[in-house]
Structure 1
Amino acid sequence: MTATPSLSLSDRALFVPAADTLVIADIHLGRAADSSVDAPIDDGLAVRDALESLLARTEPATVVVAGDLLHSFQTIPRGVERDLAALEEAINDAGASLVVTLGNHDSMLESVFDGETASEYRLADGETVVCHGHERPETEAARYVVGHDHPALSVEGRKLPCFLYGPNVYDGADVMMVPAFTPLAAGATVNGMYARDFQSPLISNVDRFHPGVWDDSSDEPLWFPPLGECRRLL
């Protein structure tokens, strides 16, 4: 199985060539600082480095964050404004514009970000709508790209961030769920989950979704059978 030709996958990110747009989700800036760990890793630096690599590789005109740019609901932890400014600078330096679709964690976003935001964002291809996925979208589309559930696949004892691609699964539309962009997200092991276990209302007939993981050695995604089959195979 391969994804639709109009989509290009990378490590924790999705590129839509027809819209010249890079989509990432669930960055959760401030997650490390908001944790109880005495010496948390610099997740802001890790995210920026990963994003700079993707920008160089895809050269997009637009970067869309599919929700949860921030992590904390009620405060802005130390370093978040610095990390956000670094991300914006990287995107500007790459000649791209930034759009953030609001996630359930982004209640404080307006206090640190004055760029373009939307609850749902239609890409320039006219077919794709990006949203966080925690609520049912109001905009009709042929394809929805969402985040929210932080999907991961357990393969031979390894837990790997994964994409979930469901053709014609939501009111006749395709759904592509992307993994969390933050390296701190352990992820939800989808081959042990059923529809009731997902938080996104766009995931109902989950057995029809194909999981795909990024393979660094081949520099391409590896697609697995639908989850309905994966539970018996993995």
Structure 2
Amino acid sequence: MLDVVFADRAVAFDPGTLVVADLHVGRAAASDVEVPLGERADLTGRLSNVLDRLGPETVVVAGDVLHEFGRVSHRAAETLDALDEACRDAGAELVLVAGNHDGVLANAWDRTVHDAYRVDGCARDVLVCHGHEEPEGSADLYVVGHDHPTITIEGQKRPCFLYGEKTYRAADVLMLPAFSRVAAGVSVNGMRARDFQSPLVTDADSLRPVVWDQGRHEALTFPPLGRFRELL
């Protein structure tokens, strides 16, 4: 199994890189549904909790940092600043990778916006990208977001990670759930490769769901979807 540390909608690699995906800052303001928690407080609070627990040196957002298209709203820019401040307060650097919703991200970020980010110091060659298009670089492991995976178990929909061994360019793929709790998740129970939006998913049956149990603070690993569907 994958040698990483799982957390609440986040994953950490040695020697100190945390990866989250799909913050969708600005989604709450664009949504028609009522959000029980303020977007900024929810994102920064949950990120700070993970930072306190794992103490990374680098935090990488694997795309769809924003949910903005024509311009970056003042509120979204302030939320991005608050996330950056939360990382700095924890002694970590925030690194942003562009997703398909990030066309105007450079207007709100005065540092490099990466197309992909290679994790330093890992035993494996790990490349973080959003996953909405095929990456240019090769790697042993691709870490992506984009599809917002969830799995429905006993009628309850849970955010999940999806891990596939040797499923893309003979390399592994790890898909992260959306860190945003406003962005709707898609239930992967019955999905085939053609149903995923990411071209890095070539064999859905081989993807192994991993669910973070918040109450027990542990990751629950399930059989690959091809076999797991028979148990649901």
User: Is the pair's TM-score, using the shorter chain for normalization, greater than 0.5?
Assistant: yes
Partner of 2:55: 59
For structure 2, the 5+ residue unaligned runs are none
The offset of 1:37, in angstroms, is: 4.3
Alpha-carbon separation, structure 1, partners of 2:179 and 2:154: 23
Supply the AA of the counterpart residue of 1:120. A
Matched, 1:211 2:204: no
SS of residue paired to 2:30: coil
State the identity %. Answer: 49
The offset of 1:94, in angstroms, is: 1.1
Q: Deviations over 1:147-197 (max 9, x none)?
A: 000000000000000000001111111100000000112311011211111
Partner of 2:97: 101
Contact 2:35 2:182 in 1 (8 A): no
Greater Cα shift, 35-44 or 154-163: 35-44
* Equivalent residue in structure 2 for 1:85, among 81, 85, 90: 81
Alpha-carbon separation, structure 2, partners of 1:43 and 1:158: 23
Tell me the matched-pair count: 230
The offset of 1:38, in angstroms, is: 6.8
**Considering only aligned residues, what root-mean-square deviation do their CA atoms show, in Å?**
1.4
Partner of 1:173: 171
The offset of 1:120, in angstroms, is: 0.8
Alpha-carbon separation, structure 2, partners of 1:49 and 1:83: 12
Partner of 1:226: 224
Partner of 2:5: 8
Supply the AA of the counterpart residue of 1:23. V
1:23-172 map, 5 Å: 23-37=19-33, 41-124=37-120, 125=122, 127-172=125-170
TM-score, structure 2 as length reference: 0.95
Alpha-carbon separation, structure 1, partners of 2:37 and 2:45: 14
Contact 2:106 2:113 in 1 (8 A): no
Q: Deviations over 1:33-84 (max 9, x none)?
A: 1123477741121000000001111111101000000012223234111111
For structure 1, the 5+ residue unaligned runs are none
Q: Deviations over 1:90-146 (max 9, x none)?
A: 111111111111000001101111123210110002610000000101111000000
TM-score, structure 1 as length reference: 0.94
